[in-house]
Amino acid sequence: MDWIEIGITLSDPFLEEPISAVLFELGACGVYIDLEKSLLKGYLPKKLIDSFTKSRLKDTLERISSIFSLQKVPFFYIKPAEQIDWVREWKKFFKPIEVTNLLTVIPSWESEKDINTKYVIKIDPGPAFGTAQHPTTQLCLRLLESFKEKESILDIGTGTGILAIYAAILGIKKIFAIDIDPVALRWADHNLNLNRVKDKIVLSSKRVNNICDKFSIVVANLLLDELKEVISFIPAILKGVFIVSGILRDQVYELRDMLEKYGLIIKKSLFQEEWVAVVCEKQ
């Protein structure tokens, strides 16, 4: 199969997540950061590129520039891709990380023998978000440890499945993980098998508005615009705490106002770099 490379400049580290989302929406099967050139690169099958790809990408980057008040719209290029050894590339950028005193997240190709924490999660990242390298994932994992006594959890936008996997490891009994991206669900299923927790987690392509059960924990590691699409459905399915991340520090006040509109009050905030995670309860 012929492949196309799309490169987009990263003027600030916080752009990694939204620009990665843009590339995956276009159909990218993998992304990585070229640190020397401050580029985020995505790779797509050539058959997905049409005459409108360039204009769609330009419009999307202009919207991102407006949302994040960037001085310049990120530069991008589209060109035929060189042959890439994906496993080798992932090994360059995905290293074991000790997230908490209890948890280390490692790539699927690493050994557990030298890990000193009580818990280990193995992740094969594929094209899904959630390797614990990003601060928002780390914040959510840290917060989950505070609520391990809860009986149930809904993971919205599960990605690699990492949050649902840790919930299972911590002993939460009822775990429902949803994602509207079928590729993400396939990789999440793969990671559930890697960590031997597939029998403890229900994966689903259901949207939040089709969820009928109530959960002790609802977790959503989403960008603010994505959160706006699901927030109105949260009170009806929440009977405990709502953990939210994917939010920048300067978006906290907008987030607070949006949560309060639906009767959700921030009880705790955690910050890491320019990102924040909050714990909410119903008023």
The enclosing domain of 202 has a CATH number of 3.40.50.150
**Domain identity same for 84 and 100:** no
Instruction: Report the CATH number that the domain containing residue 80 is assigned in CATH.
Output: 3.30.70.100
Query: How much of the chain exceeds pLDDT 90, in percent?
Result: 55
Beta strand pairing status for 275-282 and 238-248? antiparallel
User: Residue 67 belongs to what domain range?
Assistant: 3-89
Compare 166 and 132 and report the one with higher pLDDT.
166
Domain boundary among 47, 65, 89: 89
pLDDT tens-place string over residues 194-235? 999 999 999 999 999 999 999 999 999 988 888 999 999 999
Choose the final residue of a domain: 89, 105, 140: 89
The neighbouring-strand residues paired with 152 are 174
Q: Are residues 72 and 192 in the same domain?
A: no
Distance separating alpha carbons of residues 217 and 17, to the nearest angstrom: 24
**Best CA proximity match to 280, nearest among 226, 229, 203, 227:** 227
Shared domain for 104 and 222, answered yes or no, is yes
pLDDT band of residue 125 (cuts 50, 70, 90) is confident
Tokens of 280: 């909410």
Cα dihedral 226, 189, 91, 29 sign: negative
Any idea what DSSP says for residue 75?
P
Instruction: Say how far apart CA 61 and CA 22 lie, in whole Å.
Output: 8
| 36 has a pLDDT exceeding 90 | no
Please indicate, yes or no, whether residues 160 and 28 belong to a single structural domain of this protein.
no
- Residue 10: the pLDDT is 87
- Count Cβ atoms below 10 Å from residue 258 Cβ, excluding itself: 17
Q: What are phi and psi of 180, to 5 degrees?
A: -85, -5
For residue 184, what pLDDT is reported? Answer: 84
Q: What is the pLDDT of residue 53?
A: 87
Residues 32 and 116 in one domain: no
Asked whether residue 257 carries a pLDDT value surpassing 90, the answer given is yes
- Do residues 80 and 156 share a domain? no
Is residue 16 located within the same domain as residue 51? yes
Same domain, residue pair 81 and 103: no
- At 271 the three-state DSSP class reads strand
Q: What is the pLDDT of residue 90?
A: 62
Tell me the per-residue pLDDT of 84-97, one tens digit each, with 9 for 90 and over.
665 566 666 678 89
Does 26 lie in the same domain as 10?
yes
Q: What percent of the chain has pLDDT over 70?
A: 94
Q: Total structural domains in the chain?
A: 2
Structure tokens given for 31: 């992304």
| 29 and 166 together in one domain | no
* Average pLDDT of the chain, as a whole number: 89
- pLDDT for 201: 97
Least confident of 26-40, 102-116, 214-228: 26-40
Residue 128 has pLDDT above 60, yes or no: no
Is 29:127 a contact under the CB 8 Å cutoff?
A: yes
Mean pLDDT is lowest, of 14-28, 131-145, 245-259, for 14-28
Same domain, 39 and 155: no
Q: Does 19 share its domain with 49?
A: yes
Provide the pLDDT for residue 1.
Answer: 59
Q: Give the domain-ending residue among 89, 110, 134.
A: 89
